Amino acid sequence: MHKLAGIELGGTKTVVVLGQAGRIDERLEFATTEPEETIARAIETIEGWRDDKPVDAVGIASFGPIRVSREAADYGCLLDTPKPGWSGAAVVAPVAAALGCPVALDTDVNAAALAEQRHGAAQGCDSMVYLTIGTGLGGGVLICGEPVHGLLHPEIGHVRLRRAAGDGFEGACAFHGDCLEGLLSGPALAARLGTHPSRVDAENPMWEPVAHDLAELLAMLVLTVAPERIVVGGGVAQRQPQLLPMAVGRVPTLLGGYLRDCTREKLGGMIVPPQLGDDAGPMGALVLASRALEDRVAAVRHVPAAA
């Protein structure tokens, strides 16, 4: 049995875990501070779990934007980020150097998508989206079971979709105003509702335009990515459980009868809350670690016989 470690590197806190794909055995959480200090603490934590043998692989699920393409010169480094001190910070290299084992990297949301697909609410769905609506709004996408990368990685939170008629809220995103994050994240909801979202009860009509915006996001994903499942997690989704069914109910109307498969009933089974909750990120990091090991196994298999 392999010994795996995972690091969920978040904008505010970092979670380090020891376990297997599908099981967390040890966990330590601490505040994300400076890059060097934070990464060093994660490494020390993992080294402290050495016992009889070191870990076989580490998976890192990081906030972004981060370079996930292994061919890039700045692979494993944060890109421009508003988080002070983190632009350009190397995340993969110091972990690999210190622990001397395979290290895999992906975004926190792609990792959470992998975890929900392997062990949670999207089992059996090779094509799925994991959305998290909390402090920010992010999305991880799996196609054929593989996390989507390309130019960079999906940044679904910053798509600007159609606003509900008569909804004048200007949005709260520093970059784009009323992109999805600027409409649906926790801080956006506080600005939009004029109070903490928890103070607005579920029946309040103020949730209607919010449900509309979430429905536009779901419809866009159905039309663009054609996922078999959409898992909607994060603090906002968790604390306002009325929002998801309200939004799902609006999707068939937005699709305008175009995809008759997409009935409200079918969409209700397809667009679901997560099963792993806050564990999706760290469990995703463990899935990444197990994938790093598969890569190494594959690499070993391809060594020429003469070597």
Cross-strand bridge partners of residue 239: none
Cα(5)–Cα(168) distance, integer angstroms: 47
Least distance to a second copy, CB of residue 215, Å:
11
Cα(38)–Cα(40) distance, integer angstroms: 5
Please identify, using beta-carbon distances, which residue of 127 and 135 lies nearer to a second copy: 127
Least distance to a second copy, CB of residue 248, Å:
14
Say if residues 296 and 14 touch (Cβ distance below 8 Å). Answer: no
Least distance to a second copy, CB of residue 302, Å:
18
For the chain, the farthest-separated pair of C-alpha atoms sits apart, in whole angstroms, at 72
Cα(207)–Cα(282) distance, integer angstroms: 31
Please identify, using beta-carbon distances, which residue of 42 and 141 lies nearer to a second copy: 141
The amino acid at 124 = G
Please identify, using beta-carbon distances, which residue of 110 and 240 lies nearer to a second copy: 110
Please identify, using beta-carbon distances, which residue of 101 and 230 lies nearer to a second copy: 230
Cα(291)–Cα(91) distance, integer angstroms: 18
112 CB burial (10 A radius; 0-12, 13-18, 19+):
buried
Least distance to a second copy, CB of residue 216, Å:
7
CA neighbor of 227 nearest in space, from 137, 112, 148: 148
Please identify, using beta-carbon distances, which residue of 42 and 215 lies nearer to a second copy: 215
CA neighbor of 272 nearest in space, from 241, 294, 295, 305: 241
Least distance to a second copy, CB of residue 120, Å:
18
Say if residues 187 and 150 touch (Cβ distance below 8 Å). Answer: no
Least distance to a second copy, CB of residue 270, Å:
7
User: Residue 119, Cβ neighbours under 10 Å: how many?
Assistant: 20
Least distance to a second copy, CB of residue 71, Å:
11
Using CB under 8 A as the criterion, which residues of the chain lie in contact with a second copy when the complex forms? Answer: 65, 79-80, 125-128, 139, 141, 143-144, 146, 148-156, 158-163, 175-176, 216, 219-228, 254-262, 270
Q: Rounded to whole angstroms, what are the CA distances from 297 to 61, 101, 206, 302? A: 21, 12, 54, 9
Please identify, using beta-carbon distances, which residue of 6 and 171 lies nearer to a second copy: 171
- DSSP code, position 78: B
Least distance to a second copy, CB of residue 126, Å:
8
Cα(211)–Cα(222) distance, integer angstroms: 16
Please identify, using beta-carbon distances, which residue of 204 and 253 lies nearer to a second copy: 253
Cα(166)–Cα(156) distance, integer angstroms: 24
Please identify, using beta-carbon distances, which residue of 3 and 153 lies nearer to a second copy: 153
